[in-house]
Amino acid sequence: MARVASVREAATAEAIERAAVALGSGRLVAFPTETVYGLGADATNPRAVALVFAVKGRPRFNPLIVHVPDLAAATALCHFNETARQLAAAFWPGALTLVLPRRRGCPIADLTSAGLSTLAVRVPAHPVATRLLRATGLPIAAPSANRSGHVSPTTAAHVAADLADRLDIILDAGPTPLGLESTVVDASGARAIVLRLGAIARGELDRALGRPVPVVDGQASRLASPGMLARHYAPAARLRLEAREVAPGEALLAFGAAVPRHEAAMLNLSPSGDLLEAAANLFAHLRRLDSLKPGGIAVMPIPNEGLGEAINDRLLRAARPA
Protein backbone atom coordinates (compact mmCIF):
# COMPACT_ATOMS: atom_id res chain seq x y z
CA MET A 1 0.00 0.00 0.00
CA ALA A 2 3.07 2.23 0.19
CA ARG A 3 2.71 2.82 -3.55
CA VAL A 4 -0.85 4.12 -3.14
CA ALA A 5 0.27 6.55 -0.45
CA SER A 6 3.09 7.88 -2.63
CA VAL A 7 0.95 8.28 -5.75
CA ARG A 8 -1.53 10.63 -4.08
CA GLU A 9 0.25 13.85 -3.16
CA ALA A 10 -0.66 17.35 -2.01
CA ALA A 11 -0.60 19.65 -5.06
CA THR A 12 2.46 21.66 -4.02
CA ALA A 13 4.43 23.69 -6.57
CA GLU A 14 7.07 20.96 -6.55
CA ALA A 15 4.54 18.14 -7.11
CA ILE A 16 2.92 20.09 -9.96
CA GLU A 17 6.36 20.52 -11.54
CA ARG A 18 6.98 16.76 -11.37
CA ALA A 19 3.51 16.05 -12.75
CA ALA A 20 4.26 18.36 -15.70
CA VAL A 21 7.48 16.44 -16.43
CA ALA A 22 5.59 13.12 -16.25
CA LEU A 23 3.00 14.41 -18.74
CA GLY A 24 5.76 15.60 -21.06
CA SER A 25 7.22 12.10 -21.16
CA GLY A 26 3.92 10.44 -22.06
CA ARG A 27 2.83 9.36 -18.58
CA LEU A 28 -0.57 9.89 -16.94
CA VAL A 29 -1.42 12.33 -14.13
CA ALA A 30 -4.69 12.86 -12.29
CA PHE A 31 -5.36 16.51 -11.47
CA PRO A 32 -8.20 18.58 -10.01
CA THR A 33 -10.38 20.91 -12.04
CA GLU A 34 -13.30 22.96 -10.72
CA THR A 35 -15.69 20.27 -12.02
CA VAL A 36 -14.19 16.81 -11.34
CA TYR A 37 -10.71 15.24 -11.25
CA GLY A 38 -9.31 14.59 -14.73
CA LEU A 39 -7.09 11.76 -15.96
CA GLY A 40 -4.56 13.77 -17.96
CA ALA A 41 -2.31 12.86 -20.87
CA ASP A 42 -0.38 14.81 -23.51
CA ALA A 43 -3.11 15.29 -26.14
CA THR A 44 -0.50 15.43 -28.93
CA ASN A 45 0.94 12.01 -28.03
CA PRO A 46 -1.23 9.18 -29.42
CA ARG A 47 0.46 6.55 -27.23
CA ALA A 48 -0.24 8.55 -24.06
CA VAL A 49 -3.88 8.99 -25.14
CA ALA A 50 -4.17 5.25 -25.89
CA LEU A 51 -2.94 4.65 -22.35
CA VAL A 52 -5.85 6.79 -21.04
CA PHE A 53 -8.34 4.47 -22.72
CA ALA A 54 -6.48 1.39 -21.48
CA VAL A 55 -6.39 2.67 -17.88
CA LYS A 56 -10.05 3.70 -17.87
CA GLY A 57 -11.03 0.33 -19.33
CA ARG A 58 -13.40 2.02 -21.76
CA PRO A 59 -14.79 -0.45 -24.30
CA ARG A 60 -14.95 2.33 -26.90
CA PHE A 61 -12.97 5.36 -28.02
CA ASN A 62 -15.04 8.38 -27.00
CA PRO A 63 -13.57 11.75 -27.97
CA LEU A 64 -11.80 13.45 -25.05
CA ILE A 65 -11.77 17.06 -23.85
CA VAL A 66 -8.53 18.98 -24.43
CA HIS A 67 -7.57 21.29 -21.57
CA VAL A 68 -5.58 24.47 -22.22
CA PRO A 69 -4.53 27.34 -19.92
CA ASP A 70 -6.14 30.22 -21.82
CA LEU A 71 -8.13 31.37 -24.86
CA ALA A 72 -4.98 32.02 -26.89
CA ALA A 73 -3.94 28.38 -26.55
CA ALA A 74 -7.44 27.28 -27.61
CA THR A 75 -7.48 29.53 -30.68
CA ALA A 76 -4.16 28.02 -31.76
CA LEU A 77 -5.93 24.63 -32.00
CA CYS A 78 -9.46 25.46 -33.23
CA HIS A 79 -11.48 27.92 -35.30
CA PHE A 80 -13.71 30.19 -33.23
CA ASN A 81 -16.77 31.74 -34.86
CA GLU A 82 -18.56 34.73 -33.28
CA THR A 83 -20.80 32.50 -31.11
CA ALA A 84 -17.81 30.54 -29.83
CA ARG A 85 -16.00 33.79 -29.02
CA GLN A 86 -18.99 35.07 -27.03
CA LEU A 87 -19.29 31.84 -25.07
CA ALA A 88 -15.57 31.73 -24.33
CA ALA A 89 -15.64 35.36 -23.20
CA ALA A 90 -18.60 34.68 -20.91
CA PHE A 91 -17.50 31.39 -19.33
CA TRP A 92 -13.72 30.87 -19.58
CA PRO A 93 -11.96 30.02 -17.45
CA GLY A 94 -14.79 27.75 -16.36
CA ALA A 95 -17.00 24.71 -16.70
CA LEU A 96 -17.83 25.13 -20.39
CA THR A 97 -16.45 22.81 -23.07
CA LEU A 98 -16.66 24.05 -26.66
CA VAL A 99 -16.70 21.66 -29.62
CA LEU A 100 -15.03 23.48 -32.51
CA PRO A 101 -13.45 22.70 -35.91
CA ARG A 102 -9.78 21.75 -35.71
CA ARG A 103 -7.35 24.07 -37.46
CA ARG A 104 -5.34 22.67 -40.33
CA GLY A 105 -2.12 21.27 -38.88
CA CYS A 106 -3.65 21.08 -35.39
CA PRO A 107 -1.14 18.97 -33.42
CA ILE A 108 -3.74 17.09 -31.34
CA ALA A 109 -3.58 13.31 -31.90
CA ASP A 110 -6.42 11.85 -34.00
CA LEU A 111 -7.16 9.40 -31.20
CA THR A 112 -7.87 12.29 -28.77
CA SER A 113 -10.93 13.31 -30.79
CA ALA A 114 -11.66 9.74 -31.95
CA GLY A 115 -10.89 10.68 -35.53
CA LEU A 116 -13.38 13.59 -35.65
CA SER A 117 -12.57 16.85 -37.41
CA THR A 118 -13.86 18.76 -34.40
CA LEU A 119 -12.18 19.12 -31.02
CA ALA A 120 -13.66 19.64 -27.54
CA VAL A 121 -11.65 22.31 -25.67
CA ARG A 122 -11.90 23.84 -22.24
CA VAL A 123 -10.01 26.36 -20.11
CA PRO A 124 -10.50 25.07 -16.55
CA ALA A 125 -10.86 27.44 -13.59
CA HIS A 126 -8.81 25.70 -10.94
CA PRO A 127 -5.46 27.10 -9.82
CA VAL A 128 -3.79 23.66 -9.79
CA ALA A 129 -5.07 22.82 -13.29
CA THR A 130 -3.93 26.21 -14.57
CA ARG A 131 -0.46 25.86 -13.03
CA LEU A 132 -0.09 22.34 -14.40
CA LEU A 133 -1.16 23.40 -17.91
CA ARG A 134 1.26 26.34 -17.87
CA ALA A 135 4.09 24.16 -16.55
CA THR A 136 3.68 21.51 -19.29
CA GLY A 137 3.03 23.92 -22.15
CA LEU A 138 1.10 21.00 -23.66
CA PRO A 139 -2.63 20.64 -24.40
CA ILE A 140 -3.85 17.98 -21.96
CA ALA A 141 -6.54 15.43 -22.87
CA ALA A 142 -8.49 14.50 -19.76
CA PRO A 143 -11.62 12.48 -19.24
CA SER A 144 -12.94 12.15 -15.70
CA ALA A 145 -10.43 10.13 -13.65
CA ASN A 146 -12.57 7.06 -12.97
CA ARG A 147 -12.73 3.58 -14.40
CA SER A 148 -15.35 3.13 -17.09
CA GLY A 149 -18.83 2.76 -15.61
CA HIS A 150 -17.92 4.35 -12.26
CA VAL A 151 -19.02 7.85 -11.22
CA SER A 152 -16.81 10.87 -11.85
CA PRO A 153 -14.37 11.50 -8.98
CA THR A 154 -14.70 14.68 -6.94
CA THR A 155 -11.89 13.86 -4.49
CA ALA A 156 -8.35 12.52 -4.89
CA ALA A 157 -9.36 9.56 -2.71
CA HIS A 158 -12.01 8.58 -5.30
CA VAL A 159 -9.32 8.67 -7.99
CA ALA A 160 -6.92 6.62 -5.87
CA ALA A 161 -9.59 4.00 -5.20
CA ASP A 162 -10.12 3.51 -8.94
CA LEU A 163 -6.76 4.13 -10.55
CA ALA A 164 -3.88 4.47 -8.05
CA ASP A 165 -1.90 1.54 -9.43
CA ARG A 166 -2.03 2.92 -12.99
CA LEU A 167 -0.94 6.54 -12.44
CA ASP A 168 2.31 8.40 -11.82
CA ILE A 169 0.82 11.10 -9.62
CA ILE A 170 -2.59 12.10 -8.28
CA LEU A 171 -2.41 15.81 -7.44
CA ASP A 172 -4.60 16.25 -4.35
CA ALA A 173 -6.21 19.66 -3.85
CA GLY A 174 -9.23 18.52 -1.85
CA PRO A 175 -12.79 18.17 -3.10
CA THR A 176 -13.57 19.79 -6.46
CA PRO A 177 -15.69 22.96 -6.03
CA LEU A 178 -18.49 22.14 -8.51
CA GLY A 179 -18.60 18.34 -8.43
CA LEU A 180 -20.41 18.16 -11.75
CA GLU A 181 -18.85 17.79 -15.22
CA SER A 182 -18.57 20.67 -17.65
CA THR A 183 -21.43 21.62 -19.97
CA VAL A 184 -20.50 20.63 -23.54
CA VAL A 185 -21.66 22.98 -26.32
CA ASP A 186 -21.12 22.27 -30.00
CA ALA A 187 -20.30 25.72 -31.43
CA SER A 188 -18.74 24.40 -34.64
CA GLY A 189 -21.72 25.44 -36.77
CA ALA A 190 -23.83 28.58 -37.06
CA ARG A 191 -26.18 27.47 -34.25
CA ALA A 192 -24.77 26.45 -30.88
CA ILE A 193 -26.22 23.21 -29.46
CA VAL A 194 -25.83 21.77 -25.98
CA LEU A 195 -24.42 18.21 -26.25
CA ARG A 196 -24.16 17.55 -22.51
CA LEU A 197 -25.77 19.44 -19.66
CA GLY A 198 -23.38 20.05 -16.78
CA ALA A 199 -22.17 22.64 -14.32
CA ILE A 200 -23.28 25.61 -16.46
CA ALA A 201 -27.06 25.79 -16.74
CA ARG A 202 -28.93 26.32 -20.01
CA GLY A 203 -30.31 29.64 -18.78
CA GLU A 204 -26.77 31.00 -18.35
CA LEU A 205 -25.92 30.06 -21.94
CA ASP A 206 -29.13 31.69 -23.20
CA ARG A 207 -28.31 34.90 -21.33
CA ALA A 208 -24.74 35.00 -22.64
CA LEU A 209 -25.88 34.69 -26.27
CA GLY A 210 -29.17 36.61 -25.92
CA ARG A 211 -31.08 33.72 -27.51
CA PRO A 212 -32.12 30.20 -26.49
CA VAL A 213 -29.48 27.50 -26.93
CA PRO A 214 -31.18 24.20 -27.80
CA VAL A 215 -30.21 20.88 -26.24
CA VAL A 216 -29.43 18.07 -28.65
CA ASP A 217 -32.34 15.65 -29.28
CA GLY A 218 -32.52 12.68 -26.97
CA GLN A 219 -30.39 14.35 -24.31
CA ALA A 220 -32.40 12.88 -21.44
CA SER A 221 -32.02 9.30 -22.57
CA ARG A 222 -28.39 9.75 -23.52
CA LEU A 223 -27.21 11.32 -20.28
CA ALA A 224 -26.20 7.88 -19.05
CA SER A 225 -23.72 7.48 -21.89
CA PRO A 226 -22.55 10.96 -22.89
CA GLY A 227 -19.91 9.59 -25.23
CA MET A 228 -22.64 8.43 -27.57
CA LEU A 229 -23.50 12.05 -28.36
CA ALA A 230 -20.54 12.49 -30.63
CA ARG A 231 -20.87 11.73 -34.29
CA HIS A 232 -18.39 9.06 -35.30
CA TYR A 233 -15.55 9.15 -37.73
CA ALA A 234 -16.21 6.97 -40.75
CA PRO A 235 -13.90 6.56 -43.75
CA ALA A 236 -15.28 6.93 -47.29
CA ALA A 237 -13.71 3.66 -48.40
CA ARG A 238 -15.51 0.42 -47.66
CA LEU A 239 -13.93 -1.54 -44.81
CA ARG A 240 -13.68 -5.33 -44.94
CA LEU A 241 -12.97 -6.71 -41.47
CA GLU A 242 -11.26 -9.93 -40.37
CA ALA A 243 -9.48 -10.00 -43.74
CA ARG A 244 -6.86 -12.73 -44.17
CA GLU A 245 -6.07 -11.92 -47.80
CA VAL A 246 -6.21 -8.75 -49.90
CA ALA A 247 -8.43 -8.33 -52.98
CA PRO A 248 -7.21 -6.42 -56.08
CA GLY A 249 -7.46 -2.64 -55.56
CA GLU A 250 -7.82 -2.95 -51.79
CA ALA A 251 -5.51 -1.15 -49.38
CA LEU A 252 -4.44 -3.11 -46.32
CA LEU A 253 -4.66 -2.12 -42.66
CA ALA A 254 -2.41 -4.74 -41.14
CA PHE A 255 -1.81 -5.94 -37.59
CA GLY A 256 1.06 -8.16 -36.48
CA ALA A 257 4.01 -9.66 -38.30
CA ALA A 258 2.23 -12.10 -40.66
CA VAL A 259 1.09 -9.67 -43.35
CA PRO A 260 -0.69 -11.17 -46.39
CA ARG A 261 0.42 -10.34 -49.96
CA HIS A 262 -0.88 -7.00 -51.18
CA GLU A 263 -0.42 -4.80 -54.24
CA ALA A 264 -1.84 -1.45 -53.12
CA ALA A 265 -0.94 0.62 -50.04
CA MET A 266 -0.38 -1.02 -46.65
CA LEU A 267 -0.07 0.45 -43.17
CA ASN A 268 0.53 -1.70 -40.11
CA LEU A 269 -1.23 -0.78 -36.84
CA SER A 270 1.47 -2.64 -34.94
CA PRO A 271 3.99 -5.00 -36.54
CA SER A 272 4.76 -6.45 -33.09
CA GLY A 273 1.07 -7.02 -32.30
CA ASP A 274 0.98 -4.43 -29.47
CA LEU A 275 -2.61 -3.25 -28.89
CA LEU A 276 -1.55 0.05 -27.29
CA GLU A 277 0.48 0.91 -30.39
CA ALA A 278 -2.43 -0.21 -32.59
CA ALA A 279 -4.85 2.07 -30.73
CA ALA A 280 -2.42 4.97 -31.03
CA ASN A 281 -2.19 4.45 -34.81
CA LEU A 282 -5.81 3.52 -35.58
CA PHE A 283 -7.37 6.82 -36.69
CA ALA A 284 -4.26 8.27 -38.34
CA HIS A 285 -3.69 5.07 -40.36
CA LEU A 286 -7.35 4.83 -41.41
CA ARG A 287 -7.30 8.45 -42.49
CA ARG A 288 -4.06 8.00 -44.49
CA LEU A 289 -5.31 4.90 -46.31
CA ASP A 290 -8.72 6.50 -46.96
CA SER A 291 -7.05 9.58 -48.48
CA LEU A 292 -5.55 7.34 -51.18
CA LYS A 293 -9.13 6.53 -52.32
CA PRO A 294 -8.56 2.77 -52.53
CA GLY A 295 -11.15 0.32 -53.89
CA GLY A 296 -11.66 -0.70 -50.25
CA ILE A 297 -9.68 -1.28 -47.07
CA ALA A 298 -9.00 -4.82 -45.92
CA VAL A 299 -8.50 -4.90 -42.15
CA MET A 300 -6.69 -7.83 -40.56
CA PRO A 301 -8.21 -9.46 -37.44
CA ILE A 302 -7.48 -7.68 -34.14
CA PRO A 303 -7.63 -9.73 -30.92
CA ASN A 304 -10.73 -8.74 -28.95
CA GLU A 305 -9.00 -8.24 -25.60
CA GLY A 306 -7.90 -5.13 -23.67
CA LEU A 307 -7.75 -2.15 -26.04
CA GLY A 308 -8.60 -4.54 -28.89
CA GLU A 309 -12.23 -4.31 -27.78
CA ALA A 310 -12.35 -0.54 -28.38
CA ILE A 311 -10.43 -0.91 -31.66
CA ASN A 312 -12.90 -3.53 -32.90
CA ASP A 313 -15.87 -1.45 -31.75
CA ARG A 314 -14.67 1.46 -33.84
CA LEU A 315 -13.78 -0.69 -36.87
CA LEU A 316 -17.27 -2.26 -36.77
CA ARG A 317 -18.92 1.17 -36.78
CA ALA A 318 -16.65 2.37 -39.55
CA ALA A 319 -17.50 -0.73 -41.60
CA ARG A 320 -21.21 0.10 -41.55
CA PRO A 321 -21.49 3.90 -41.61
CA ALA A 322 -24.81 5.43 -40.55
Contacts with ligand TXA, residue ranges (CB under 6 A): 33, 35-36, 38, 62-65, 97, 99, 113, 116, 118-120, 122, 142-144, 181-182, 184, 195-196, 226-227, 229-230
Contact between 144 and Mg ion by CB under 5 A: the answer reads yes
CB of 215 to ligand TXA, least distance (A): 13
Question: CB under 8 Å, gap of 24 or more: what pairs does 268-275 form?
Answer: 269/302, 269/311, 275/302, 275/303, 275/305, 275/306, 275/307, 275/308, 275/311
Separation of alpha carbons 301 and 102, rounded Å: 31
CB of 143 to Mg ion, least distance (A): 5
Q: Are 51 and 41 in contact (CB under 8 A)?
A: yes
- Binding at 229: pick from Mg ion, ligand TXA, none (beta carbon under 5-8 Å per type): ligand TXA
Closer residue to ligand TXA, CB minimum distance, 182 or 268: 182
Separation of alpha carbons 16 and 69, rounded Å: 14
- Binding at 44: pick from Mg ion, ligand TXA, none (beta carbon under 5-8 Å per type): none
Contact between 183 and Mg ion by CB under 5 A: the answer reads no
Burial annotation 78-89 (CB, 10 A radius, 16+ → b, else e): bbbeebbebbbe
- Binding at 142: pick from ligand TXA, Mg ion, none (beta carbon under 5-8 Å per type): ligand TXA
CB atoms within 10 A of CB 265: 15
Closer residue to ligand TXA, CB minimum distance, 131 or 196: 196
CB of 271 to ligand TXA, least distance (A): 30
Sign of the four-CA dihedral 109, 111, 115, 116: negative
Separation of alpha carbons 109 and 141, rounded Å: 10
CB of 246 to ligand TXA, least distance (A): 32
Closer residue to ligand TXA, CB minimum distance, 185 or 315: 185
- Binding at 269: pick from Mg ion, ligand TXA, none (beta carbon under 5-8 Å per type): none
CA atoms within 13 A on the CB side of 11: 22
Residues binding Mg ion (CB under 5 A): 144
